[in-house]
Structure 1
């Protein structure tokens, strides 16, 4: 489908949820820009942003509780940009994304493109830490008792 400038953005293949949440848009390797995700379906969304996005541009849309979703700008107009997702969202994704938001738009904030992910300790390492702390604790109690009784 060739991207177009439209006056009537209501030509939709599926009813959209009036979403109204902050999000981000990533274009290529550029830093993310703030956006407002107005409408949302499993197939796409309507975005409002001050950033100029070229028609046909491939983007990644960041939505709280969903993460990044790849898509393409298929229309633009006075109501924002229409983005069609490359792969439809999973069933239940819109309900999950519509839950309580923990995201606050920070004007001018730039998020890292690839945040560092830290992993938890493995099960054996966690057990070793717990056992080691217990041995040291009981050793201290025994040492104090021996000193007081000695």
Structure 2
């Protein structure tokens, strides 16, 4: 019995950087799916996902701090897919994405601004409860007065 070996060439044109960064993949219906980027280069990335993606499909991925990029699924791997960007990342975008991953910065899909401050509450929590208690007390007082007027109590 003989074994046949096959040689697979690494066709990447840019060095890859290992990372673990959450990202959002948009399918053909633009439905968002959470994925994880395992490695990133200027020309592509590997995404970890349980989604079934056809080889050759072009999708959009939102990468924290650098926005949305079109990518093509080029190969299936165990637990994910190797993807090539339709347009290579700028070196500055690659550095920003790697720095964001290192600092665990989470940014919503496609956002580039600082997170919004928390909205101020319109009413203090205690004021709502006090209003409910006041309404109950007033309704009991009205009931008592009506019962006195008609002579039941």
Asked if TM exceeds 0.5, the reply is yes
Contact 2:20/2:38 (<8 A) preserved: yes
TM-score normalised by L of structure 1? 0.59
Runs of 4+ in 1 over 3 A off after TM superposition: 8-11
The offset of 1:11, in angstroms, is 4.9
Partner of 1:13: 13
Q: Which residue in 1 is equivalent to 2:53?
A: 53
**2: CA distance between counterparts of 1:12 and 1:54?**
20
Q: Which runs of 5+ in 1 are unaligned?
A: 1-7, 105-110, 116-150
CA contact (8 A) 1:44 1:84 kept: yes
Structure 2's unaligned 5+ residue stretches are 1-7, 112-153
Measure the CA separation in 2 of the matches of 1:60 and 1:9.
26
SS of 1:95's partner is helix
Counterpart of 2:98? Answer: 98
Contact 2:68 2:110 in 1 (8 A): no
RMSD of aligned Cα (Å): 2.7
> How far did 1:10 drift?
5.4
The structure with the largest alpha-carbon Rg is: 2
**Normalised TM-score (structure 2):** 0.58
Distance across 2 between alignment mates of 1:11 and 1:20: 22
Aligned residues: 102
| Greater relative contact order, per chain length (Cα 8 Å cut-off, separation 6+) | 1
